[in-house]
Amino acid sequence: MARHVTLFTGQWADLPLGELAPKARGFGFDGLELACWGDHLDVDRAATDQAYCDARTALLAAHDLGCWAISHHLAGQLVCDLNDARSDAFAPAATHGNPDAKREWAVETMKNTARAARNLGVPVVCGFTGSSIWHLLYSFPPVTPEMIDAGYRQFAELWHPILDVFDECGVRFALEVHPTEIAFDIVSAHRALEALDRREAFGFNFDPSHLEWQGMEPARFIDEFPDRIYHVHMKDAAVTLDGRTGLLSSHLPFGVPERGWDFRSVGRGDVDFEAIIRALNRVGYGGPLSVEWEDSGMDREHGARESCAFVREIDFAPSRVAFDAAFDK
């Protein structure tokens, strides 16, 4: 099928783009989903410097690679996040210790990410929104409905002006539905859309791995939001509950066996990717299938190469005719 298979560069940001691009082509990918950190894409520069954007595009083209989405998860997270010391890792040094300054930087950077996408000729920006109410998830001490309502109101107030710039640039924002975001499952995704009056600029980057370990059927997300699947991450997860491990993962980092779940190289976890391809065919999604490779137990170059091959093998076009149509004649 004509769906492009791309590699998200976020997990490869330690490599210069000039080094990663030939590797990605060698792995078999059609293009890159550029992360807006490392040296892969400077969105503040790309927002105003067309020559810089043309040079990025030319670098990819020299290795026969395209780009159909860019991603700025790090800045997007800080828009609605509580912005404690953890986010010092990706906020400018001048904002450290100042949550409001981090938020102001994030809002302006996300606006520039839309401008950068326009200048690159890219239709979709993937990313996070952050959430001021994620820490209230368990509802103890008791959480009132008004507290949750306030979180969605703040989300709308902060993101409407950002999405205005997306509209001006003719670019769409695709939230990766994910823990710590304003939408982390199907119900909260519906609520996020309603908070924004379902404006068209806002949709979803479908990533099944984050739904799988929560106990959902990832393909059902696609059927629930048939007109809002703006981008797709191909990423796997495995639930490893054994009577001792738990889904909340015991404050353990990824890759530790005592966790109750972990990410896996595509095709080596629990996600039913055939069901996902069938659902994408039902809703008419023709955009890229972007491998976000994460597996603490595997060499990443091996994983990227086998993931690309797996995605090509699992993808297929929808039928244009009923299988038994020949009997009509």
Alpha helix (H) residue ranges in 170-217:
186-195, 208-212
Q: Tell me the C-alpha distance between 228 and 312, whole Å.
A: 23
- Reported as a pLDDT band with limits 50, 70 and 90, residue 322 is low
pLDDT tens by residue, 240-259? 999 999 999 999 999 999 99
Q: What is the pLDDT of residue 270?
A: 98
Residue 319, pLDDT above cutoff 90: no
Token couple for 114: 């839309």
- Reported as a pLDDT band with limits 50, 70 and 90, residue 294 is very high
| Residue-averaged pLDDT of the chain | 96
Residue 323, pLDDT above cutoff 80: no
Q: Are 155 and 195 a contacting pair, CB within 8 Å?
A: yes
Residue 326, pLDDT above cutoff 70: no
Residue 328, pLDDT above cutoff 80: no
- Reported as a pLDDT band with limits 50, 70 and 90, residue 91 is very high
pLDDT tens by residue, 22-55? 999 999 999 999 999 999 999 999 999 999 999 9
Q: Tell me the C-alpha distance between 220 and 216, whole Å.
A: 8
For residue 184, the tally of other CB atoms under 10 A from its CB is 20
Q: Are 225 and 189 a contacting pair, CB within 8 Å?
A: yes
* Closest alpha carbon to 271 in 233, 317, 297: 233
Q: Tell me the C-alpha distance between 192 and 75, whole Å.
A: 19
Token couple for 55: 């040079």
Angle at alpha carbon of residue 25, lines to 19 and 27, rounded to 5°? 100
- Reported as a pLDDT band with limits 50, 70 and 90, residue 2 is confident
Residue 321, pLDDT above cutoff 90: no
Q: What is the pLDDT of residue 325?
A: 61
Is it true that domain 5-328 has CATH number 3.20.20.150? yes
* Residue percentage of the chain with pLDDT more than 70: 97
Residue 7, pLDDT above cutoff 80: yes
Rg, the chain, Cα only: 20
Average pLDDT for residues 196-224, to the nearest whole number? Answer: 98
pLDDT tens by residue, 109-153? 999 999 999 999 999 999 999 999 999 999 999 999 999 999 999
Domain boundaries of the chain, sorted by first residue: 5-328
For residue 243, what are the CA distances in angstroms to 40, 251, 264, 269, 299?
43, 17, 21, 19, 29
- Distant-in-sequence, close-in-space partners of 101: CB < 8 Å, separation ≥ 6: 94, 95
